[in-house]
Amino acid sequence: MELNSIGLNQEKSEAIVKDLNQLLADYQQFYMNLRGFHWNVKGKSFFELHLKFEELYNDINLKVDEIAERILALDGTPLHSFTDYQTISRIKEVKGLTDGAAMVQSILDDFKLLIIEQRNILQNAGNNDDEGTITLMSDYITEEEKTVWMLKSYLN
């Protein structure tokens, strides 16, 4: 069995890198959607949603960097072009929304996809004793599950 530079199974790590690049692309498109929501939200909830969307996109921006750095730690190369992101992202670009409730629902749909994806990466990382990726995914899942609960409560 060949090991990578941090002592993990090379073949399993390459599969995790592929999954992390998928996640990176999804997060990049999610980030762009959140920026658009921040700029274009209208209505009575403008002030609170404008601030919330900014909080969310700032958090996602940090996660994008952490995911790319994890890919590098696993001896991979992070995707770094919008063409790559748009080609493989499972999160679709959202344009033309101004309604805050519709934006929040879109965010909830995207978080669901991201959480499922991260659970899959978490399981694969566990099968490779990849503690760094396990910790990253576990932290993201815990945080995002709470955010989903809060956004669902906002809509109800």
Q: Kindly give, in sequence order, each residue whose CB lies less than 8 Å from that of residue 141, ignoring residues fewer than 6 positions away.
A: 115, 118, 119, 122
pLDDT score recorded for residue 74: 98
Q: Which domains does the chain have, with CATH numbers?
A: 10-155 (1.20.1260.10)
User: Measured on CA atoms in the order 143, 64, 113, 47, is the torsion positive or negative?
Assistant: positive
Q: Kindly give, in sequence order, each residue whose CB lies less than 8 Å from that of residue 79, ignoring residues fewer than 6 positions away.
A: 21, 24, 25, 85, 88
* Cα(144)–Cα(129) distance, integer angstroms: 23
Residue among 9, 52, 30 at smallest CA distance from 118: 30
Q: What is the pLDDT tens value at each position of the chain, 156 positions in all?
A: 999 999 999 999 999 999 999 999 999 999 999 999 999 999 999 999 999 999 999 999 999 999 999 999 999 999 999 999 999 999 999 999 999 999 999 999 999 999 999 999 999 999 999 999 999 999 999 999 999 999 999 999
**Tokens encoding 5:** 């530079």
Q: Does residue 9 sit in helix, strand or coil?
A: strand
pLDDT score recorded for residue 18: 98
